[in-house]
Structure 1
Amino acid sequence: MSSTTFDFSPLPEQRSEVYGPNANYNQKRCQQLAQEFFRDGVRRARERNERQKEVGKRLEDPKLQPRREQIWAHSGKLEAKYLRFLRTKEGLSNYENVKTIGKGYFGEVRLVRKRQDGKVYALKRLVKTEMISKEQLPRVRAERDALAESDSEWVVKLFTTFQDTTSLYMLMEFLPGGDLMAMLITYEIFSEDITRFYAAEIINAIEAIHKLGFIHRDIKPDNILLDRGGHIKLADFGLSKGFRKNHDSKFYQDLLQQQQQPPSLSYRPQNRNSVNIDEISLTVSNRAQINDWRRSRRVLAYSAVGTPDYIAPELLTYRGYSFEADWWSLGTIIYECLIGWPPFAAEHPHDTYRKIVNWQHSFFFPDDIQLRPNAANLIKSMVCNSDNRLGRNGAAEIKAHPFFEGVDFNGLRRIRAPFVPPLTSDVDTSFFPVEQLPQTDNLLPAADNGGAATDAATSSSTDDALTPEMFLPFLGYTFKRFEKSFV
């Protein structure tokens, strides 16, 4: 038997430097689009197969035999709805603005109502130019991926993400109970039982994120929201850290062919060793000073500096860190719930940074507040060196601490929460500091114009008009969550 040989021409040498910028840009664009297209296609095919298997298992149940045709017909309608769902284009014109409920350095959060069905959501907007100039692209992607992949009852639900030429948008569930910080401002100190309840729920939330491979890195009362039943959900993953290629800043530098730039100085704690500024000496006797600190607390939350009270020291010293950094933050929150203020609170953020870095000398329990031994031991086991920190081997060892004896971590949502927000409507924002936020209407179209102006603006701007910097980093950002249900 004779063998056949083939002669192939040598592979052309790839010399991207000889092509123009448009050719290189289009090559990267096509590569990214192809990767995202096939990745989404495979994921959706798997999801449809899983739904089909689930329906098949239901049809095999003898108890459901009388409803067999009904279930099969319903599953077909569900898949038709899913295909229509994929074809539906999301945009600002689909929503009408209710009010602004949150504001940060890079964008804002608005309460919106969907025009089609009247449902209420929280819409987070991020400005693309700010994301690029402040080198936040890895964090934007990590936040999107963490929320998109999470299906936990302890994490705020992301329904869809979309974008236009200037901004990124994340449509999430609206949690009307406000945040844990508002409760701390109102009640100042929690009982040990109430603290135990919220701490247990936060543990479940942090554990859910860690299982997805993300470090939150910004666990603080402001990011712990309360739903209609008063149970918590973890939100705001803008500082979260993932471990994939597109969660690394080098990925975007290579993508845009930019030279490495030093991080913005706005995000480096300044004057960590300064001792010339007076600190707050927090005790029960100077409650007026504590209240002044609390009032300024909300202002700091909207600033570029942020609120460093809960950050683990390993994040500030540029040494290696891992998932245990989030458990330090929980320890400081438990401290605040029981004592009335965070353990490293100071009048200025850079003093807080200094106290955290030197926590061995600045961490103490006030003499005039006595904690039970289990509570004090739990806090000291979490606010300590990362090598010895409780939780470094997983959430299970925190759950096993004597402070949580008797807690059913799997049944927390079946327990009535200590505080159930009394709501008057589906757009009740009484538990948000909306009076401190500018209520401008320059983001969403008014309800009476049907969004025609926005539609026209959107249709007139295409992807082809975008520069590589405004297009390539945000490829694959779009996400849609299809809510499956059965009769």
Structure 2
Amino acid sequence: MKIHHKERRAFLEAWRKHKEYIQAQPGNVLPFPVNTPDAEAEGPEAVEAPEAQEPEAANLEVPEALEPQDPEEQVLEDPEAPEADRMEEDEQDPEDLQAAGPEEEEAAEAPGPVRQPIPPPRELANYELLKVIGSGSFGKVFHARHRRGGQICAIKVVKKPRRPLEEDEDPESDDLKREIMFLLERYNSPFLLRMKDVFESPVKVYFVLKFMAGGDLRRWTGSRWTGTRPQRLNEDAVRFYMSELVLAVEFLHKRNYIHRDIKRENIFVHRSGHIKLADFGFVRRLQRGETLDDACGTHFSPEMKQEPASYGLPADIWAVGIVMYELATREVVHEDSQLRDPRTKKLRMLGRLRQPCKDLLEALLAEDPEERPKIREVKKMEFFEGLNWRTVAGQVPPRIPTLDGDEDLRYFPQSQKAKDPIDDPTDYIRVSEDLFIP
């Protein structure tokens, strides 16, 4: 049982005074100094030692109990000491900790909880991760190959929220749960990206999706923000992409689903040149007459910006209009974009477009959600006149990706492809935490 720092200091101070007293009075060898009234009045300086006489007490044998030891080695053993005293010895003053060496400070700190790496799910071993083709706050997207069948796919890895998926009050859990439930449905639309498989670990969900070799529509059509030269699309090309997007949104709205995040980055180009709408993290199924008040997504409609927000399916129509506006004008719309001229209240940058295209954009981007056409009414507008909606999937695309093979990733960001295709090994858990498996 190690002696306390304060007790050690008191012991050394008593031993110093004891030696001084013995040296001052060699004729009277007393085990402890005696404070006389004269000494107390005059102070310790008043006592003088004889000049010519050596202190005889220097040769006295000192009991081992009083013999000073090295502070680091000094140990007092008292097996009968009460438990309360031992507990008091463990408590040290901040001054004593500051005076103690670094080794004593490290010993005083309690070790943190044990952390262990989380192994990937067994199903992930069936796939070979080739490249990273996307990343963000949600996680990563891998270009992968099935080891047995050799099929190329994309694996989207999404980190689970900290709360269990069963807790309805967590919006992140709700979004992830709704995305899983929607992708598990067996919908039959050639313009929606389908899921092939899904599996999980305690902290992640793995979506195995169809690989879209042409990348997203924003890079495909070009943008100053993505570092690619904007492509000038004629109205026939705009009509092609918009017709397939309209059918994708119609499929959702017929079943009362609202996407809430329609944008070019969530529209992907197949190796055949056709497009598919993806990313269903914000999808919601509305009841008859139901409106939402939690604004989310990228292209906020005017009713989503109001306080309080109240929106429904027309918010998707606004986002479809933004996609068409970007394709037709080569402009990138962001939160601070001013779409309309403040004097004429008309959409800007539409000078070169024909009137049917302008009319459709004006209708899709109407400020009042009640004035926007429903998705089935969009199909009847003059811009799509002469289009056979039953044969849209058989249209000849205006542009087809040029690919050298299954591993050609020229339509994906170079910065992402340079990353090692490793499922993040820095995911750890505290053993003491109660993790969930939905």
Tell me, yes or no, whether TM beats 0.5. Answer: yes
User: Do the aligned residues in 1 keep the contact of 2:130 with 2:145 (CA within 8 Å)?
Assistant: yes
User: Do the aligned residues in 1 keep the contact of 2:133 with 2:416 (CA within 8 Å)?
Assistant: no
Aligned partner of 2:109 in structure 1 is none
The alpha carbon displacement at 1:435 in A equals: 2.4
Secondary structure of the corresponding residue to residue 213 of structure 2: coil
1:332 aligned onto 2:322: yes
Question: Partner letter of residue 174 of structure 2?
Answer: P
Q: Work out the CA distance in 1 between the residues paired with 2:140 and 2:344.
A: 35
Aligned partner of 1:123 in structure 2 is 155
Stretches of 4+ aligned residues off by more than 4 angstroms: 130-134, 358-363
Q: Work out the CA distance in 2 between the residues paired with 1:388 and 1:321.
A: 14
1:184 aligned onto 2:184: no
Q: TM-score, with normalisation over the residues of structure 1?
A: 0.55
Select the structure with the greater relative contact order (CA < 8 A; seq sep ≥ 6): 1
Aligned partner of 1:388 in structure 2 is 371
Aligned partner of 2:301 in structure 1 is 312
User: Do the aligned residues in 2 keep the contact of 1:97 with 1:444 (CA within 8 Å)?
Assistant: no
Question: Partner letter of residue 142 of structure 1?
Answer: R
1:144 aligned onto 2:176: no
The alpha carbon displacement at 1:398 in A equals: 0.5
For structure 2, list consecutive stretches of 5 or more residues without a partner in the other structure: 1-120, 224-228
Residue deviations 1:38-62 (CA, integer Å, cap 9, x gap): xxxxxxxxxxxxxxxxxxxxxxxxx
Secondary structure of the corresponding residue to residue 369 of structure 2: coil
Write 1 or 2 for the structure with the bigger share of helix.
1
User: Do the aligned residues in 2 keep the contact of 1:201 with 1:409 (CA within 8 Å)?
Assistant: no
Aligned partner of 1:30 in structure 2 is none
1:135 aligned onto 2:156: no
Q: Which moved more, 1:181-190 or 1:228-237?
A: 181-190
Structure 1 residue corresponding to 2:198, chosen from 158, 161, 172: 161
Secondary structure of the corresponding residue to residue 258 of structure 2: coil
User: Do the aligned residues in 1 keep the contact of 2:135 with 2:416 (CA within 8 Å)?
Assistant: no
In structure 2, relative to structure 1, the CA distance for the partners of 1:382 and 1:167 (3 Å cut) is: same
Question: Partner letter of residue 194 of structure 2?
Answer: K
1:211 aligned onto 2:191: no
In structure 2, relative to structure 1, the CA distance for the partners of 1:366 and 1:212 (3 Å cut) is: closer
The alpha carbon displacement at 1:130 in A equals: 5.9
1:369 aligned onto 2:351: yes
Secondary structure of the corresponding residue to residue 195 of structure 1: helix
Question: Partner letter of residue 216 of structure 1?
Answer: H
User: Do the aligned residues in 1 keep the contact of 2:258 with 2:286 (CA within 8 Å)?
Assistant: no
- Equivalent pairs, count: 299
Q: Work out the CA distance in 2 between the residues paired with 1:156 and 1:138.
A: 21
In structure 2, relative to structure 1, the CA distance for the partners of 1:437 and 1:429 (3 Å cut) is: closer
For structure 1, list consecutive stretches of 5 or more residues without a partner in the other structure: 1-88, 250-262, 269-305, 446-456, 475-487
Aligned partner of 1:378 in structure 2 is 360
User: Do the aligned residues in 1 keep the contact of 2:161 with 2:172 (CA within 8 Å)?
Assistant: no
Structure 1 residue corresponding to 2:263, chosen from 215, 220, 225: 220
Q: Report sequence identity in percent.
A: 29
Q: TM-score, with normalisation over the residues of structure 2?
A: 0.61
Aligned partner of 1:198 in structure 2 is 241
Q: Work out the CA distance in 1 between the residues paired with 2:421 and 2:217.
A: 28
In structure 2, relative to structure 1, the CA distance for the partners of 1:427 and 1:362 (3 Å cut) is: farther
Aligned partner of 1:432 in structure 2 is 412
Q: How does 1:25-424 map to 2 (within 5 A)?
A: 91-129=123-161, 135-149=171-185, 150-182=187-219, 183-185=221-223, 186-243=229-286, 308=298, 310-317=299-306, 318-342=308-332, 344-345=333-334, 349=335, 351-352=336-337, 364-366=346-348, 369-384=351-366, 385-391=368-374, 395-424=375-404
Residue deviations 1:350-392 (CA, integer Å, cap 9, x gap): x34xx58x9987964346833211111101101011111012x
Question: Partner letter of residue 238 of structure 1?
Answer: G
Q: Work out the CA distance in 2 between the residues paired with 1:230 and 1:371.
A: 24
Aligned partner of 1:301 in structure 2 is none
Decide which structure has the larger Cα Rg and report it. 2
